[in-house]
Amino acid sequence: MRVRKVVVFFGVITCVWCSLPSDQDFWLRLAKEELEESLRVKWNLGIAKNVILFVGDGMGPNTVTAARIYKGGETHRLVFEKFPHMGMLKTYSANKMVPDSACSATALFCGVKANQETVGLDATVKHKDCPASLRPESRLNSLAALALKAGKSAGLVTTARVTHATPGPLYAHSADRKWECEDEMPSEAAKCKDIARQLVEDWPGRDLHVVLGGGRQVLVSNSSGSPADPLDTWSCISKDGRNLINKYKEDKKSRGLKYSFVSNSKELKELNAAKTDYLLGIFANGHLMFEHERNKGPEGMPSISDMVEASIKVLQKNKNGYFLMVEGAKIDLAHHRGWAKRAVDETVAMENAVQLAMSMTDERDTLIIVTSDHTHTLSINGYPYRGTNIFGVVGPSNYDGVNYTTLSYGTGGPGAFQYYIETVGNESKVIRKDASLEDTDRFDYEQISAIRLIENSHGGGDVAIYARGPHSHLFHNVHEQHYVYHAISYAAKIGAYSDANINSSNYTIITILLAFTIFVTL
């Protein structure tokens, strides 16, 4: 029975493959088009008035490849894969070969490598060391902080909680990424402020012009869950009586600032950006829903594209420009559960947001970057025929005769450990489940993994970085991850590369040279 199914399966595959163009003219045309495209590339040496940094959390190279095939086939390219410049980033942290999102986001946004699970702090601060995190010299300035100091606007968009590990380093300094609210903080950390309070009470968080994402349960105590918006039991849930959303509103009113607070798609869509300089949008207790399952009605949660559109409308009013970080967080969250199709679908959702940002900005003055903080252990296996479903089945294995999925993981949770023990008489052997007997195209199908954990772990491989706009050519080979902060600072002329600092530096050099000349002539 199994052999007959495999024969039919391969018969279908062969037909799909035979229908795809493969003659010499097809390949020559593809190569010629790429060559002509490459010859048209010119360096943009202008100043990046605006910077939009997209972070596909957990979006390793194999995830990008799978998303490309899912959307348009093997010869397709995602919009950011057409950017004129790209490189690779080394993602290791200060103390681990494989990073988490807190330390890798700190590297991206703050310019130095940090220890695992710390937020916005240098590597002198160890995980959970509250006293060390209070040292001013250990606290890092983010790209958002540099933008604000330069008179630009700054903001963040995420499909996770706004206090989560990736957005956190833009405004917070915490020795533990889990200290999103008071309920996760031990008594010995009483002198440290949780991440949610830092967002609303401290600079630069309170001065961010756009904050859009989830996380109501860490901002407002005793938030109630529902089937459409459940509480996130993996996260901190505040119980101290706080209402930081009200505190945000009171702060803006007391300073006479024009602000808006929105909580669903309808309110975001109807936002009057002309009358809004500060925008806070909290759309879920925990993370936002996956794109394929979110309520797309007016009372539901907005898409990542919806949030990007509203953000740019608010930020672009500043004549000095802006910095915006956009995180496609659910890519990572899907990978952690072994849901490859959800991860890939979330990658395509973020690609749509990139395309929207491109349509709303000018390449001459806006630097758009797409990258990731780390990889996952996703792999693309076997020898599936071209044109077949990336979530489909190949095989049978020439070792055990059992079919398997094109996508699999190195590590996975219990559902992805697709083996069982079969006992015949006195002999027992490990049997792998036949993937062709299941619907592997489901959004909640868990791909097989080699090593069983509570959930999938991150990968330690390099991630790609794609760039277009002013000084995008600075991304051109294999870079350290924290290099991104410095390249963006240089392109936008902020921080150490602002006109004031450059002029001051030049003045110091000229003064030293003049003093040396006078000394020599005496």
Q: DSSP characters for 307-363?
A: HHHHHHHHHTT-TT-EEEEEEETHHHHHHHTT-HHHHHHHHHHHHHHHHHHHHHS-T
Answer positive or negative: Cα dihedral of 263, 58, 65, 488: positive
Q: Give the pLDDT confidence score for residue 8 in this predicted structure.
A: 41
* Tokens 């252990």 sit on residue: 377
* Tokens 């505190």 sit on residue: 247
CA distance 104 to 482: 8
- What average pLDDT does this structure show over 374-401? 95
Of the listed ranges 100-104, 167-171, 398-402, 403-407, the least confidently predicted one is 398-402
Residue 4 pLDDT > 50, yes or no?
no
Above pLDDT 70, what percent of the chain? 92
CB 295 within 8 A of CB 289: yes
CA distance 89 to 99: 12
Phi, psi of 282 (to 5 degrees): -120, 115
Q: Give the pLDDT confidence score for residue 141 in this predicted structure.
A: 98
12 band by pLDDT with thresholds 50, 70 and 90: very low
More confident residue, 340 or 7: 340
For residue 319, what are the CA distances in angstroms to 276, 322, 490?
A: 15, 9, 19
Q: Give the pLDDT confidence score for residue 413 in this predicted structure.
A: 84
- Tokens found for residue 217: 């349960």
- What average pLDDT does this structure show over 266-270? 98
CB 394 within 8 A of CB 405: yes
Q: Give the pLDDT confidence score for residue 503 in this predicted structure.
A: 60
Q: Please tell me what DSSP assigns to residue 223.
A: P
Q: Give the pLDDT confidence score for residue 5 in this predicted structure.
A: 38
CA distance 29 to 149: 49
Q: Give the pLDDT confidence score for residue 432 in this predicted structure.
A: 87
Answer positive or negative: Cα dihedral of 10, 14, 20, 23: positive
428 band by pLDDT with thresholds 50, 70 and 90: confident
Q: DSSP characters for 41-67?
A: -----S--SEEEEEEETT--HHHHHHH
Q: Give the pLDDT confidence score for residue 17 in this predicted structure.
A: 60
Q: Could you read off the pLDDT of 70-126 as tens digits, one per residue? A: 999 999 999 999 999 999 999 999 999 999 999 999 999 999 999 999 999 999 999
Q: Which residues are catalytic?
A: 101
Q: What value does the mean pLDDT of the chain take? A: 92
Q: Which SS3 state, helix, strand or coil, does residue 454 take? A: coil
CB 489 within 8 A of CB 496: yes
The H-or-E segment that residue 484 falls in is: helix 483-492
- Tokens found for residue 349: 């959702």
Q: Could you read off the pLDDT of 313-364 as tens digits, one per residue? A: 999 999 999 999 999 999 999 999 999 999 999 999 999 999 999 999 999 9
